[in-house]
Amino acid sequence: MAGNNGGPWGSGGNRGGDDDGRNGGPRRPEQGGGQQIPELDDLVRKGQEQLRVLMGGRGGGNGGFGGGAGGGGFKPTRSMFLLGAGAGIVAWFLASFYTVQPSQQGVETFFGSFYRTTGDGPHLAPWPFVRTQVIEVTTQRTEAIGSSRAGEGLMLTTDENIVDIDFQVVWNIKDPAEFLFNLRDPEATVRSVSEAAMREVIAQSELSPILNRDRGLVADQVRDLIQATMDGYDSGINIVRLNLDRADPPAEVIDAFRDVQAAEQERDRLERQADAYANQALAGARGEAAQLLEEAEGYRAQVVNEAEGQASRFLAVLQEYRGAPEVTRRRIYLETMEQVLGDVNLIVMDENGGGNGVVPYLPLNELRRTEPAAGGNN
């Protein structure tokens, strides 16, 4: 073995004839003897094989990733690069594209700050610089107050009475940007403002109008007050309507209140009935008074006309009398006798014409029949 050592790697000649080989430096491991250290190429090849299996390739063979027989590292091709770029563009487009329905509005923020509001239709917001939130704006939301919690609807009126009220506030969104950025809890805000507004209006009203005729007026006043308060907050909320479901006295005294209400209704009914009778009687009295005035006016005109006519007639007769007194006197006498005797039932008998032989006969029965008739004519 000493004659074959030709240097430190066993390729040169003998250096000093040292048989034990310890003077030649480090020695190369002998071929075929003992366990050998794995080569670096083998480690790289195994790693490439495992990487290809993980990425969907098939194992086996001595080539590296890509099928080369001589090994080598991972080498992406041009088509693979274009495919990855296209997939990234599609993913970015899908993340940036959004659609707004007719009942919705979109709010875009640029790096967290409000950018703009979008209407219905497709839109493109470059992600991740612009973020979008789509909100239902026409959907009506309802907040019920008074029936959900015990004692929430008990309110004090201006005449120091307690009324139990249940009502609903129906609202939607008119400005989504203000709705998102100015209110932390919109539902709780609407409930608090609505309850405070109702208490304020009830505190300025009496109990009886609230229970009877002024419910619509109270609802309108409360709705206007809620809307004014929400506008002052720049909340972007629109109060659609307020439904006043119930307004009753507390349950402990509701029977007594109903009795009082029934008595008041009966009083109002009697007052209306009395007013109707008074109006009817007054109208009848006014009609009779007008009729009497008209009759008196007619009678006055008749009397005046008759007096004027008689005066005119007297003056005419006087004028005739002055011209022919005897004739006028005789004429007046005859007219007067004609007027007097015209209504008297007389039988005239001439004594010289044979009336001596007439036997007087009194028809008593006929006289009895004619006396009432004659009395009625007079």
Q: Which amino acid is residue 210, in one-letter code? A: I
* Residue 346 falls inside a structural domain: no
Report the amino acid identity of residue 37: I
Can you tell me the distance from the alpha carbon of 206 to that of 160, in angstroms, rounded to the nearest whole number?
A: 8
Domain with residue 245: its CATH number is 3.30.479.30
The encoded tokens of residue 104 equal 């919705």
Q: Which token pair is 159?
A: 């005449």
- Which of 104, 136, 168 corresponds to the end of one domain? 136
| Residue range of the domain that includes 208 | 141-252
Gap between the Cα atoms of 155 and 158, Å rounded: 10
Of the residues 197, 229, 252, the one at which a domain ends: 252
pTM higher than the cut 0.85: no
Same-domain status, 152 and 115: no
- One pLDDT digit (tens) per residue for the chain, 378 residues: 434 444 434 444 444 444 444 444 444 444 444 444 456 567 666 666 665 555 555 444 444 444 444 444 556 667 777 777 777 777 776 777 777 777 777 787 777 777 777 777 777 676 777 777 777 888 889 998 876 666 677 888 888 888 888 899 999 998 888 888 888 898 999 999 999 999 999 999 888 788 777 888 899 999 999 999 999 999 889 999 999 888 888 777 778 877 887 898 899 999 999 999 999 999 999 999 999 999 999 999 999 999 999 899 888 888 888 888 888 888 888 888 888 877 777 766 666 655 566 666 666 667 666 655 555 554
- Looking from the CA of 157 toward its CB, the CA atoms found within 13 Å total 18
Here the tokens at position 10 are 């066993």
What is the domain count for the chain? 2
Is residue 268 assigned to a domain? no
Q: Rounded CA gap, 236 and 10, in Å?
A: 92
The answer to whether residues 149 and 223 belong to one domain is: yes
Q: Is residue 12 part of a domain?
A: no
Burial classification of residue 210, based on how many CB atoms lie within 10 Å of its CB (0-12 exposed, 13-18 middle, 19 or more buried): buried
DSSP string, 118-150: E-SEEEE--TTTEEEEEEE-SS-EEEEESSSST
Tokens encoding 274: 């009395």
